Amino acid sequence: LGRELDRMLASLNGPQRQAVVHEGGPLLIVAGAGSGKTRVLAHRIAYLLGARGTQPGEILAITFTNKAAGEMKERVATLVGPRARAMWVSTFHSMCVRILRAEAGKLGMKSSFTIYDQGDSVRLMTMVARDLDLDAKRYPGRSLAAQVSNLKNELIDEEAYVPGTAPEKVLAEAYKLYQQRLRQAHAMDFDDLIMTTVHLLQAFPDVAEHYRRRFRHVLVDEYQDTNHAQYVLVRELVGTGTGPVPPAELCVVGDADQSIYAFRGATIRNIDEFERDYPQATTILLEQNYRSTQRILRAANQVISKNTGRRPKNLWTDAGDGELIEGYVAENEHDEAAWVAEQIDALVDEGTVKPKDIAVFYRTNNASRVFEEVFIRVGMPYKVVGGVRFYERKEVRDALAYLKVVANPADVVSLRRVINTPKRGIGERAEACIENFADRERIAFANALRRCSEVGELATRSLKAIQEFVALLEEFEQLVETGSGPAALLESILDRTGYLAELQASTDPQDEGRVDNLNELISVAAEFEAASPGGTVTDFLEQVSLVADADQIPVAGDDAGVVTMMTLHTAKGLEFPVVFLTGLEDGVFPHLRALGDPRELEEERRLAYVGITRAQQRLFISRATVRTSWGQPAYNPPSRFLDELPGDTVQWAGKEPAPAPSTGYRSAQQRVAATGLSTGGLRGGAGNRAVIAVDVGDRVSHDAFGLGTVVEVSGAGDKAQATVDFGSGGTKRLVLRYAPLVKL
């Protein structure tokens, strides 16, 4: 082991080594991207175990993502072997869950509590607001939830919160009811996990002492993204030494230029004032970057230098110049995705990189869909990190299973998936009876269902339920025969089976998200109808299953792996030989929300810095001239960050960007301003879209069909439909909620 340690120490530069062997007081390592901060943490742990006699159980290391925690554990395990398992290497949230599950009794909670993610908490808050009869325009659930989250990040619980103004009083009331609902559901939201752990440690000195005795070393990665609650949590765990236990050794690493979680209350202050908070602290700077080529580093340094009030850094690399950054101006988002796929293909063909060496980054999660569709079409193996793939969600699969049954009654897998979904009283026993009958008669399961009255052994109630189910299926088949397209059929299925009603009536906040996803699925179907008029349900299913069958894409050779796609936020701390940074448009990246706000713009710029500095050898950047947003084309100007790149680092390709037409189109920015939609909710699907109002005689423009005249209007609200005469394009009936239609 001694020789291993020597070798390890020899692989570090001077300041890195100093950080690894540092003993005693708190240690702060501040340094730019790729300078080995995370590596130093891993090596420090190995050194503690190997040279200082620390037991693995005495180590608590906190990383920002579970993926990072996994990698850290692996890095340490290769250095010290399986002993590494007793260490706690986790995110703040998983660490808190672990402590809270162990100590739940002290707080009068079940240790099996449920965890609500951000979407769940917004939905719960929306229900609370409804119950309090709050005006949904003035007090949207999303905004109340965000304010409660901010309070929790500041460790202000519902009892401690003292409202002043009238809106604050409303907030206080909502906060109280929200917490009450959480307790009734035996649930905690993300912010509760941290706040409750802090309160636990403060309220029960014996519990605090227990953990302080246990963790003699606390190490925190990505310290720039800790918020106040996390800061206090670390302080509580380390202790001040005034009790029976001396303080733990604390080592934190971070880079103020990579702070990208201000919206979660993260504060660079925690880095900037570390020395004041821990007077005996030692600070170490790392300045050599070991990750990227000079060009990539120069681009990153230049962009981040536009931020104000930062400590200038002297980050350098002795890697060579490297290749030029390649830029592409795409016609639209599909063209952009196709270009990315082409470049990847070419790189892999050259044989220098494998798919696993390549990452595609985008600003917001919803951007993955177009990349997924194109990658599937060209057979490029990929995975999306973070976020369940749309077509894998239960409700989406359920709805598609119904469509499949209608299109193909013999699809027994789909049939049995939906036979009792939603619950309609056809139990397993009844299903088994039908199956036996089918076997005996040598007929298909679907036919056996239709002949259920002959089965004999069925209870009257089951028989009735099956007959009703069969009648429903026949109704859907009728719809198809009379020419309903997939969108109308889906709507009818969700309505007539009671599937939607059940979700809408549910008090489980997750169900509201499921409703949104079903809306999104209907708009996928509407898009399909617009793109391929006359397309059948089977055609639609075929298109969708190509997207949904991503799992079955053959992985090209075992170790070649797959291309990774993720948001920029998820990319923090990672590195890839080849990086694609996409959607570089004002209004996309930087995000629409940030355009008018200098502080948010600086945060977006840090995000750009994070993105650029993930690349080791090659960086590709792209933007689209026109991009669909809210179902309509948006001409966004090039991202201002592009102007900030040193000109001699980038080589551009692409079609000459078409000028934006002077009428008929608006940028996403203008459109959002015009509709008064909150810019915070850009990720929403069709579920959030306002239904446009049209009258007979109105002139309209449709994405696919062009100009037309409204000849008939029917239905209201979400169900409103219009029949539009598109001249030579034919006459179409459109569901207004989903149709990509603008009134002229």
Residues catalogued as catalytic: 37-38, 221-222, 258, 614
Residue ranges in 31-50 that form contacts with Mg ion under rule CB under 5 A: 37-38
Please, which residue, 12 or 132, has the CB nearer to ligand ATP?
12
- With CA atoms as reference, report the closest residue to 575 among 362, 315, 359, 318: 359
DSSP for residue 64: S
- 618 touches, from ligand ATP, Mg ion, none (C-beta below 5 to 8 Å by class): none
Please, which residue, 37 or 605, has the CB nearer to ligand ATP?
37
Please, what is the minimum distance in Å from the beta carbon of residue 584 to ligand ATP?
A: 20
Please, what is the minimum distance in Å from the beta carbon of residue 80 to ligand ATP?
A: 17
Please, which residue, 37 or 640, has the CB nearer to Mg ion?
37
Residue ranges in 499-518 that form contacts with Mg ion under rule CB under 5 A: none
Query: Token pair of 483, please?
Result: 């020419």
The answer on whether 714 is annotated among ligand-binding residues is no
The answer on whether 34 is annotated among ligand-binding residues is yes
Please, which residue, 288 or 414, has the CB nearer to ligand ATP?
288
- With CA atoms as reference, report the closest residue to 390 among 537, 529, 519, 490: 519
| Residue of minimal Cβ distance to Mg ion | 38
CA triple 523-141-263, angle to 5 deg: 95
Residue with tokens 């070991």: 290
Please, what is the minimum distance in Å from the beta carbon of residue 30 to ligand ATP?
A: 10
Please, what is the minimum distance in Å from the beta carbon of residue 573 to Mg ion?
A: 4
Residue ranges in 563-582 that form contacts with Mg ion under rule CB under 5 A: 573
DSSP for residue 426: -
Please, what is the minimum distance in Å from the beta carbon of residue 361 to Mg ion?
A: 16
737 alpha-carbon distance from chain centroid? 25
- With CA atoms as reference, report the closest residue to 588 among 648, 620, 618, 630: 630
Please, which residue, 513 or 611, has the CB nearer to ligand ATP?
611
Compute how many other C-beta atoms are within 10 angstroms of the C-beta atom of residue 474: 12
CA 506/CA 284 separation, integer angstroms: 54
Could you tell me if 301 and 289 are in contact, meaning their C-beta atoms sit under 8 angstroms apart?
no
Please, what is the minimum distance in Å from the beta carbon of residue 64 to Mg ion?
A: 9
Query: Distances from the Cα of 332 to the Cαs of 145, 370, 416, 462, 665, in angstroms?
Result: 35, 11, 41, 53, 14
CA 48/CA 569 separation, integer angstroms: 31
- SS3 per residue for 298-322: HHHHHHHCCCCCCCCCCCECCCCCC
The answer on whether 37 is annotated among ligand-binding residues is yes
Torsion of CA 604, 609, 611, 615, to 10 degrees: 170
Please, what is the minimum distance in Å from the beta carbon of residue 221 to Mg ion?
A: 6
Query: Distances from the Cα of 200 to the Cαs of 105, 157, 178, 230, 518, in angstroms?
Result: 11, 13, 20, 14, 40
User: Which H or E element spans position 635?
Assistant: strand 632-635
Q: What are phi and psi of 178, to 5 degrees?
A: -60, -45
Task: Report which residue type is found at 479.
Answer: L
Please, which residue, 37 or 152, has the CB nearer to Mg ion?
37
The answer on whether 352 is annotated among ligand-binding residues is no
User: Which H or E element spans position 382?
Assistant: strand 382-384
In the sheet that holds 325-330, the strands lie side by side as: 382-384, 563-567, 358-362, 576-581, 615-624, 325-330, 650-654
Q: Which stretch binds Mg ion (CB under 5 A): 30-38, 133-141, 229-237, 512-520?
A: 30-38
Task: Report which residue type is found at 60.
Answer: L
CA 518/CA 503 separation, integer angstroms: 10
The answer on whether 438 is annotated among ligand-binding residues is no
Please, what is the minimum distance in Å from the beta carbon of residue 300 to ligand ATP?
A: 10
- 291 touches, from Mg ion, ligand ATP, none (C-beta below 5 to 8 Å by class): ligand ATP
CA 375/CA 394 separation, integer angstroms: 23
Please, which residue, 141 or 573, has the CB nearer to Mg ion?
573
- 180 touches, from Mg ion, ligand ATP, none (C-beta below 5 to 8 Å by class): none
Please, which residue, 63 or 625, has the CB nearer to ligand ATP?
63
User: Which H or E element spans position 651?
Assistant: strand 650-654
Could you tell me if 304 and 609 are in contact, meaning their C-beta atoms sit under 8 angstroms apart?
yes
The answer on whether 38 is annotated among ligand-binding residues is yes
- 168 touches, from Mg ion, ligand ATP, none (C-beta below 5 to 8 Å by class): none
CA 267/CA 261 separation, integer angstroms: 8
| Residue of minimal Cβ distance to ligand ATP | 36
Please, which residue, 263 or 290, has the CB nearer to ligand ATP?
290
Which residue ranges make up the site for ligand ATP (CB under 6 A)? Answer: 11-13, 16, 31, 33-39, 255, 258, 290-291, 573, 575, 613
Please, what is the minimum distance in Å from the beta carbon of residue 56 to ligand ATP?
A: 21
Could you tell me if 708 and 694 are in contact, meaning their C-beta atoms sit under 8 angstroms apart?
no
Residue with tokens 């998200």: 513
Task: Report which residue type is found at 243.
Answer: G
Which residue ranges are tagged as binding site?
31-38
Which residue numbers belong to the known binding site for ATP?
A: 31-38
The residues binding Mg ion (CB under 5 A) are 37-38, 573
